[in-house]
Amino acid sequence: MSEHPRIGLAVSRRASAAAAGETLRRRFDFVPLAEADTVLALGGDGFMLRTLHQMLEGEIPARPVFGMNRGTHGFLMNEWRENDLAARIAAAKPIDILPLMMAARTLEGQVITRPAINEISLLRETGRTAKIAIEVAGRPAIDELVCDGVMVATPAGSTAYNLSAGGPILPLSANMLALTPISPFRPRRWPGAILPEDTAVTFRVIDPEDRPVSAVADQFEVRDVTEVTVSLDRKRPMTLLFDPDHALDERIALEQFETG
């Protein structure tokens, strides 16, 4: 990173983020996002995910992102401070994360692809349980999972929906993915699995017309799917920047001791 990086500013529509953005614009010179070396994102975790998706989808150039929390939880963000912005970015610890890629086939035969930073989930659409067959690395793993749903989560996303569903917390250095059932009925005691990150997982929906299932990549939903393949996308790594005392890998590790 250069001594004086060109910083682009991305601000969520939340009132607290908009006010912080105006404060920073009065103090610092920002460049358009297309010309930036680094992107400063003001908002919460949802806005950080949207910013990363804009990069993955080519709407803005892929650049390291330094987030400051002007949302709620802010797990992916640094603490909000209006001082020493350039110095903080220069001293920041880079954390590289790899997205997942979903290829979802619908009842109509359409194949829709979409990346995900946190997780890719299959969810029942009605009051009837979903029935899903699972293949891991091209081999049958579970012939019929009767459940509300199932997901594949990255280490970065393992403390989000995955943890709420009873899945494991994965350190960023683990190079693993979490395969986690959501309210499984049969096999009743199946806890899920931890897989090497290069493992492709294929889900086949059993009786998709009578028991419809949707696939969700982070916040993007595809309805009425029949088959979903999830794999790691090594070609498009994303870089998040963190204050050295607030790095994502350390925060994920400490989540294992969170009791509140």
Domain range summary for the chain, segments of one domain joined by +:
7-97+236-257, 100-232
Query: Is the model more confident about 202 or about 189?
Result: 202
Q: Confidence class of residue 1 from pLDDT cuts 50, 70 and 90?
A: very low
Q: Given the structure tokens 């912005």, which residue do they identify?
A: 85
Residue 244 preceded by cis peptide, ω within 30: no
Catalytic residue among 29, 45, 143, 224: 45
- pLDDT single digits (tens) 88-131: 999 999 999 999 999 999 999 999 999 999 999 999 999 999 99
Contacts of residue 236, Cβ cutoff 8 Å, sequence gap at least 6:
56, 62, 98, 99, 115
Q: Which two tokens stand for residue 9?
A: 């500013």
Domain 100-232: which topology?
Tumour Suppressor Smad4 (2.60.200)
Mean pLDDT of the chain: 93
Q: Which two tokens stand for residue 128?
A: 């009837």
Confidence at residue 121, expressed as pLDDT on a 0 to 100 scale: 98
Consecutive H or E run containing 122: strand 119-124
Same fold, 7-97+236-257 and 100-232: no
Does 174 have pLDDT greater than 90? Answer: no
Which three-class secondary structure string do you get for 182-221? ECCCECCCCCCEEEECCCCEEEEECCCCCCCEEEEECCEE
What dihedral angle (degrees, nearest 10) is formed by the CA atoms of 235, 227, 222, 55? 0
Confidence at residue 260, expressed as pLDDT on a 0 to 100 scale: 59
For the question of residue 198 being annotated catalytic, the response is: no
DSSP assignment, residue 1?
-
Q: Confidence class of residue 2 from pLDDT cuts 50, 70 and 90?
A: very low
Confidence at residue 182, expressed as pLDDT on a 0 to 100 scale: 97
Strand partners, 112: 104
Strands 238-242 and 65-69 come out as parallel
Contact 168, 191 (CB under 8 A): no
Measured at the CA of 211, the angle between CA 208 and CA 214, to 5 degrees, comes to: 70
Domain 7-97+236-257: which topology?
Rossmann fold (3.40.50)
